[in-house]
Structure 1
Amino acid sequence: MNFGLIFDALLVLPSGIGLTLTLTVLSLTAGFLLSVPLAFARAFGRPSLSFTVLAYTYAFRGTPMLVQLFLLYYGLSQIEAVRASIFWVILRDPFWCALFTFSLNSAAHTTEILCRGLQSVPKGVVEAARALGLKRLQIARLVTFPIAFRISLPAYGNEIVGMIKGSSLASTVTLLEITGMARQMVSATFAPYEIFIVAGAIYLALTSTAVKATQILEQRLSTDGTPKQRRKARLRPALPDHEITTPVP
């Protein structure tokens, strides 16, 4: 093992972290914003609307994201109408193609995650909100969605980790994120072992940070009180038992 190459990779590959995080954060944000109305339509919409959303999520969840990226980046360029349209300014750029693909893929996964969360909300909570006079939109915004998000958070954490790792596919369309920088170094040094070990370690650090952040958010949103309150409850001594006496007549 060449430790000199490992040291060089430690200096070079972190320069791709910015693009990796940019693609990940933007795609997760766009995917989440798109998935919220789709999840409500999937869970509570008319059968025709729910089936349309299901078809979208089924197609994007059932096909590799690499194929989707290639279809968008290489496939659309073969259509003359696309090249002549105003959208070609965006679609010819690999960054926007990768971002668009990742966002649609993330939206499909997040839609199904939130849909399961929405369907898990107890009906009694919704009926109680209706009894209080809340309108349908208020119930969805103030009651149903917060509970569903708390239920769905562990699964959504997996989606965040998957998107961090999936962002490496952007290197296949010439973007120099972490994997792209690693491939560029490998082509110059012919030493894939040392360089990809460093790349894997960087991805491991990013995903570990995302997992830890998700766990902290779960604790913050826990209905059992804040972590500080739970620690105080564990350390608080139990109340002494009072001796029960019967008065003597």
Structure 2
Amino acid sequence: MDWIYDLSTWLQGMTAGAEPWNSYARYLPQLLQGVWVTLQLVVLSGVVGILLAVPLALMRVSKNPWIWVLPYCYIFFFRGTPLLVQIFLVYYGLSQFEALREMGWIWDSVLSQAYWCAIITFSLHTAAYIAELFRGAIQSVPKGEIEAAMALGLSRRQQYKKVILPRAFGMILPAYGNEVILMLKGSALASTITLLDLMGATRNVIARTYMNLEFFLLAGVLYLLIAAVFIGFFRLLENWFNAHQHATHLSTRQLDVQVQDEHLKDTAR
């Protein structure tokens, strides 16, 4: 990452000591390192969260109370308590259990580290929200599509794998994108447990420069840029998974002659 420091030095020379641009250039490496940590938190927690959300959602749609009651309580807790409280419970609360402190590398390398505690908390938190999105989407899959899968002889497992879950994922993509953006903004709370994410790096720089307004504005701009990247990414995913919603032009010439009736020609645009 030597090029970042070279860029910082070059930018400092370009600013000729003018503030706040000189300070922006001087502390650019620390801020970019904070951006990288923030991206890791959001991406890793988003991936782990959706992996946890799928089985939780499948358990939630079960009619057996012995199956759905546990994920219901889990979702109720993580949706009903503040994210900051959850971070403190994981980072400070787990150390109260002696059995955990005696777990060797699991404690030394994972549970005692602010980085992994933040990822664990964010993953559990976002999994609760995504599980509810999945539950609603699974229950909203058109009955006709499920009946068509049954008519093809697909087993219940194959129906979920090939029809229900892919359809549900396409349905929740807009809401899932919003959840990722909310997690991006919530990641700023990781700085409360000494993690140097973007907000933590910004606070460290402010402690050295006393330029509160300038660097908080810069942090806001960086968060906006990251959010714009995520929004563009999810827009591409939506276009891919929900391509049928964007097919506004229906060409009847490519259809078989036997199905080219006047109704299709009238509705084609």
TM-score under structure 2 length normalisation: 0.80
Letter in 1 for 2:67: L
Which of the residues 39, 49, 62 maps onto 1:31?
A: 49
Matched residue type, 1:70: F
Structure 1 window deviating more from structure 2 (35-44 vs 103-112): it is 35-44
After superposition, give the CA deviation of every residue in 1:120-162 in whole Å (9 maximum; x if it has no partner): 0011211221121101110000000111111111100101111
- Taking the aligned partners of 2:154 and 2:57, their CA distance within structure 1 comes to 21
Are 1:100 and 2:120 counterparts?
Answer: yes
Displacement of 1:222 in angstroms is 2.1
Is structure 2 residue 149 aligned with structure 1 residue 129?
Answer: yes
State the identity %: 42
Structure 2 residue 248 is the aligned partner of structure 1 residue 222: no
| Aligned residue among 189, 197, 214 for 1:177 | 197
Task: Find 1:66's aligned residue among 81, 84, 101.
Answer: 84
The one-letter amino acid paired with 2:84 is: L
Aligned partners of 1:138 and 1:153: how far apart in 2? Answer: 22
Structure 2: give runs of 5+ residues left out of the alignment: 1-18, 252-269
1:88 to 88, 94, 107: 107
**Shift of the alpha carbon at 1:75?**
1.3
1:191 aligns with 2:211: yes
Count residues with an aligned counterpart. Answer: 232
1: CA distance between counterparts of 2:249 and 2:30? 43
- Match of residue 241 from structure 1: none
Distance in structure 1 (CA, Å) of the matches to 2:22 and 2:221: 16
Give the counterpart of 1:17 among 24, 27, 35: 35
Aligned to 2:160: 140
* C-alpha separation in 2, matches of 1:178 and 1:148: 33
Moved over 3 A (4+): 1-12, 229-233
Counterpart residue number, 2:255 = none
1:81 CA displacement: 2.4
Letter of the 1:113 partner, please give it: L
Where does residue 243 of structure 1 map in the other structure? none
Which fold has the larger relative contact order, with Cα–Cα distance below 8 Å and residues 6 or more apart in sequence? 1
Displacement of 1:45 in angstroms is 4.8
- Tell me which moved more, 87-96 or 135-144: 87-96
Q: Equivalent residue for 2:170?
A: 150
> How far did residue 232 of structure 1 move?
9.3
CA distance in 1, matches of 2:151, 2:52: 30
Deviation, 1:5, is 3.4
Distance 1:223 1:75 in 2: 46
In the TM superposition, residue 6 of structure 1 has moved relative to its aligned partner by 4.0
Deviates more, 1:44-53 or 1:6-15: 6-15
Moved more, 123-132 or 39-48: 39-48
In 2, distance between residues paired with 1:220 and 1:53?
31
Q: CA–CA distance in 2 between the matches of 1:10 and 1:94?
A: 23
Decide which of 95, 109, 134 is 1:114's aligned counterpart.
Answer: 134
CA pair 232-204 structure 1, distance change in 2 beyond 3 A: farther
Is 1:168 aligned with 2:165? Answer: no
| Deviating more after overlay: 71-80 vs 200-209 | 71-80
Q: 1:59 to 1:134 in 2, by over 3 A?
A: same
Q: Match for 2:120: what amino acid?
A: F
Q: CA deviation at 1:190?
A: 1.7
Q: Give the Cα–Cα distance (whole angstroms) in 2 for the partners of residues 167 and 45 of structure 1.
A: 35
Superposed CA RMSD? 2.1
Counterparts of 1:46-57 in structure 2, within 5 Å, are: 46-57=64-75
Contact 1:5-1:194 at 8 Å conserved across structures = no
